[in-house]
Amino acid sequence: MSVLTMRLAGPLQSWAVNSRHNIRTTLPYPSKSGIVGLLAAACGIPRDGTPSETTDITLAQLAALRLAVRVDQPGQLLVDYHTVSGASHAPTEPARQRLPTADDGTLKAEDSMKITRRHYRADAVFTAYLEGDPDLLADAAHALRRPRFPLFLGRRSCPPSKPLFISFERTSNLDHALRTTTWQASAHEITRHRAQGQSSVLLDTVTEDPTGTDALQDQPLASAPPFRHRYTERTIRHGHITLPLTPDTPTAHDPFDLLG
């Protein structure tokens, strides 16, 4: 097996599993549906499910890859309060101030004022690992370095602060990659741990495993109709690993370090 490793860092991230209503939550780590969608965008796979003109990779192939996530920097939960109305669609005509619906219709005027709370992880850093066919992952790695569509960390309002690609190992597995990838936390977080005299750091991991004791409803179903995303359960196991802190070596100043 081969492993593709990605660094997911940015000012905000949001990895929802259940976000169909007014409270749009996020997991404390990336979801598989979000990672598959991110890779699909990099490869140029259209959202409507039509064959891509730029790649032979399919959504089904990406969804079949095995995923592990390491929480290098958990960040903090941020809740963004929103009010949404249809007023912008017809400012001077109240009867036409209606919010659009997913099926190209509109809500009634009296229903076109909504309050939503959108949850994000702020100042978080994760490493994500995909295990599977080496040729497929080599193509996906190339796409990450030269993405066809813009890449976002769960939602369009969450761009990454740095390139996502870390490495592609043709002969590896998830457990080995989790333990050998250097700690990817922000420079200020690493400095804080060193100032406290720590020589190692304990990190949470979430690994896709048929023998796991937990389940998430975030396995994409590639057979779902266009724009009608459907998901099923996948089994996971939670764990922890200890990584040594790397030596404190001077680096060039990077003003984006505080963004993750």
Domain boundaries 2-79+120-185+202-241, corresponding CATH code: 3.30.70.2660
pLDDT for position 255: 62
Residue 182, SS3 per DSSP: coil
- What's the pLDDT band for 34 if we cut at 50, 70, 90? very high
Q: Looking at per-residue confidence, does 22 or 73 come out higher?
A: 73
CA distance 54 to 36: 17
Sorted by sequence, the CB contacts under 8 Å of residue 256 that are 6+ apart come out as 161, 162
Mean pLDDT of the region 116-135: 95
For position 49, what pLDDT does the model report? Answer: 65
What's the pLDDT score for residue 21?
Answer: 66
Which residue type, as a one-letter code, is found at position 215? A
For 49: left if phi > 0, alpha if psi spans -120 to 50, otherwise beta; the answer is left
Q: What would the pLDDT profile of 140-195 be if each residue is shown by its tens digit? A: 999 999 999 999 999 999 999 999 999 999 999 999 999 999 999 999 899 898 88
Q: Is-contact 230 221, C-beta < 8 A?
A: yes
Greater model confidence, 217 or 227: 217
Is the predicted pLDDT of residue 250 greater than 50, yes or no? no
Predicted confidence at residue 108, as pLDDT, reads 77
CA distance 131 to 104: 39
Q: How far is residue 53 from each of residues 58, 109, 132, 161, measured CA to CA in Å?
A: 12, 41, 24, 28
Looking at the chain, how many residues does it have?
260
pTM: predicted TM-score of the whole model, two decimal places = 0.84
pLDDT category at 8 given cuts 50, 70, 90 is very high
Tokens of 7: 């660094």
| Higher-confidence position of 226 and 8 | 8
